[in-house]
Amino acid sequence: MSSPWLVAEQLRKSFRSEHRDLEVLNGVDLQVAEGEVCAITGPSGSGKSTLLNLLGSLDWPDGGRLLWGGTEVLSLSDGRRSRRRNRDLGFVFQSHHLLGDFTALENVLMPARVGGDTTGAARERAIDLLERVGVGDRQTHLPGELSGGEQQRVAVARALINSPRLLLADEPGGNLDRARADELHDLLLGLAQAEGLAMVIVTHDESLAGRAGRWHHLEGGLLTLRSTAKL
């Protein structure tokens, strides 16, 4: 395996309530190389989404280290960290979070525009990505004119527009029926290979987890390796 692009060491996270502190993550270690897919399963409330948010620096850990491509993420200024996140990370969530007043193409272009890329090359890549995820003929449609599966495919294209090094996916097929979820999972796993992405997928779907390069299980605040496999 090549050198890991994502490295998390001893990540800890607790949430305070009125009466007690709830320890969700108790020293989680994880490494993911480019081109590698890592799946994380665990019971509801075990902290899977919390861990994903920490890996993407959408939330802040109580302790530990986080590196993207050898860079200590937690030591960066807010601005530098946001720019790195926009440039190097893509996110796919259970809900697509598309902007309802923008077309599919405009939604895909949004991360590029946020990063200051208004070139024709970005538009060409967006069109190409929509073709690759199977909705090239829907680029001028608003999200409300798309099916759930089509909306999630647009969200995948949006996550890839800046050619990220790491893709984080949280229950990406959770709102889809079995057939559409399987299609989306095939798409994501294929893109990981084609784009050379490091990918972390949080899922309740053990059939998807079993197809990942590594399958980890999160419970009791700890991450354990369940199995390894080839795509």
CATH of domain 4-228: 3.40.50.300
Mean per-residue pLDDT, 146-167? 93
- Whole-model pTM: value is 0.91
Give tens-digit pLDDT for 31-59: 999 989 999 999 998 999 999 999 999 99
Q: 143-147: list long-range contacts, CB under 8 Å, 24+ apart.
A: 143/96, 143/98, 143/99, 143/100, 143/102, 143/104, 143/107, 144/100, 146/104
Mean per-residue pLDDT, 133-138? 93
pLDDT reading at 230 higher than 70:
no
What percentage of residues in the chain have a pLDDT greater than 90?
72
Confidence grade of residue 28 (pLDDT, cut at 50, 70, 90) = very high
Give tens-digit pLDDT for 70-120: 999 999 999 999 999 999 999 998 888 899 999 999 999 999 999 898 889
What percentage of residues in the chain have a pLDDT greater than 70?
98
Tokens of 96: 């697509």
pLDDT reading at 161 higher than 60:
yes
Can you tell me which residue has the tokens 């890991």? 4
Per-residue HEC secondary structure of the chain comes to CCCEEEEEEEEEEEEECCCCEEEEEEEEEEEEECCCEEEEECCCCCCHHHHHHHHCCCCCCCEEEEEECCEEHHHCCHHHHHHHHHHHEEEECCCCCCCCCCCHHHHHHHHHHHCCCCCHHHHHHHHHHHHHCCCHHHCCCCHHHCCHHHHHHHHHHHHHCCCCCEEEEECCCCCCCHHHHHHHHHHHHHHHHHHCCEEEEECCCHHHHCCCCEEEEEECCEEEEEEECCC
Confidence grade of residue 231 (pLDDT, cut at 50, 70, 90) = very low
Mean per-residue pLDDT, 59-64? 95
Output the average pLDDT for the chain. 91
Query: What pLDDT score does 124 carry?
Result: 95
Give tens-digit pLDDT for 206-217: 999 999 999 999
pLDDT reading at 16 higher than 70:
yes
Give tens-digit pLDDT for 169-191: 999 888 888 888 888 899 889 88
So where are the chain's domains?
Answer: 4-228
